[in-house]
């Protein structure tokens, strides 16, 4: 593997962890699964929380991805399906006009 900035690689591994887990997790669970120090994991999760990619469930002390996390790659649909999916262009326009989250079922 080519040289990777450690914190960037860890953030992406955290995203992949949640994508695979498909549910909430504590700092300890993330740290254990990815074999990271708990302190570093805590800092990374808090950073993602402050950026809006995770939410914190105080009662259970769990982190959970937000819709912002889920929408990271939605622009890729246009690249692969733009001719077949004109609805995506309409969804983008609607989102821009309303500032609301638009989700296709």
Domain boundary assignment for the chain: 6-66, 73-105
Q: Given this model, what pLDDT does residue 98 score?
A: 87
State what percent of residues in the chain have pLDDT above 90: 54
Q: Is the dihedral of CA 33, 39, 44, 48 positive or negative?
A: positive
Residue range 42-64: average pLDDT?
A: 95
Please state, in angstroms and rounded to a whole number, the distance separating the CA atoms of residues 58 and 95.
30
Report the distance separating Cα 27 and Cα 97, nearest Å. Answer: 37
Q: Which CATH number fits domain 6-66: 1.10.10.10, 1.10.630.10, 3.40.50.2000, 2.40.50.140?
A: 1.10.10.10
- C-beta of residue 24 within 8 angstroms of C-beta of residue 62: yes
Q: Please state whether the predicted TM-score (pTM) of the whole model is above 0.85.
A: no
What lies within 8 Å, CB to CB, of 79 at 6+ separation is: none
- Inform me whether the pLDDT recorded for 19 exceeds 80: yes
pLDDT tens track for 67-104: 888 887 777 766 666 555 667 777 778 888 888 888 77
């Amino acid at each position: 593997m080519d040289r990777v900035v450690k914190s960037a690689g860890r953030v992406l591994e955290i995203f992949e962890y949640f994508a695979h887990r498909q549910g909430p997790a504590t700092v300890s669970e993330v740290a254990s699964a990815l074999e990271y120090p708990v302190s570093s994991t805590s800092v990374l999760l808090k950073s993602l929380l402050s950026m809006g990619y995770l939410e914190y469930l105080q009662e259970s002390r769990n982190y959970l991805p937000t819709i912002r996390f889920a929408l990271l790659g939605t622009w890729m649909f246009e690249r692969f399906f733009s001719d077949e999916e004109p609805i995506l262009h309409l969804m983008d326009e609607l989102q821009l006009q309303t500032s609301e989250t638009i989700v296709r079922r």
